[in-house]
Structure 1
Amino acid sequence: MKVCWWLLLAWFLHYAPFWTMGRVLYFHHYFPAFLFSAMFGGVMLDFLLTLICVCAPIKLAQHVFTCCLALILGVMAWSFYLYHPLVYGMRGPTSGDKDSIMHGLKWLESWDI
């Protein structure tokens, strides 16, 4: 669990300088913070799955682990399918148009996609 605090501190130290900036920030500004965030998410997921599986009987733990793993992989595949236009490059109308494939992806008005 000590690893989580170090990763959280590293994420904060890399993210904090860019949080106060009012100008446009690009991917390379957030990339170090994203790496620590991804590592933190993986460590927390491992910790929670291990905690759930240790508290349950062996057969139930295997079933819970398999279901959680399938759910995680399904969510990852669904999110890739949902956001693949942003990954491979946008074409066509912008997210402001109702006919755009990006229209449902713009969750906040401040996003410029």
Structure 2
Amino acid sequence: MSAHHHINYLEIPVINLAQSKQFFSTVFNWQFKDYGPQYSCFLDVGIDGGFYETTQSFSLANGSPLIVIYSENLSETQQAITTSGGTISKNIFEFPGGRRFHFLDTNGNEFAVWSE
């Protein structure tokens, strides 16, 4: 059941839907359910959402919010990202409460991964 006034769904633009599904499935073990050829939903990853095909990508530089994913092992996750075609855009750094890094997925979208 959805909670009143809580964020409960994200829609993320991607240039290549099949490539995005492969990347996030391989690196983060996400599962998908397709709704037509240009939309795929991800569930049970902390928040539900979906990828939709478009010609645009997002980054902090153009004012987009940062989607942050938790990892128990930053180094392993960082290696999985680069092995799967992603690019590290900001190396691991400390911040109050933990450490994190930023990466670009195979579509050029910027995400972060953090750990305590």
TM-score range, shorter chain: under 0.3
Q: Which TM-score applies when normalising by structure 1?
A: 0.22
Decide which structure has greater strand share: 2
Higher relative contact order (Cα pairs below 8 Å, separated by 6+ residues): 2
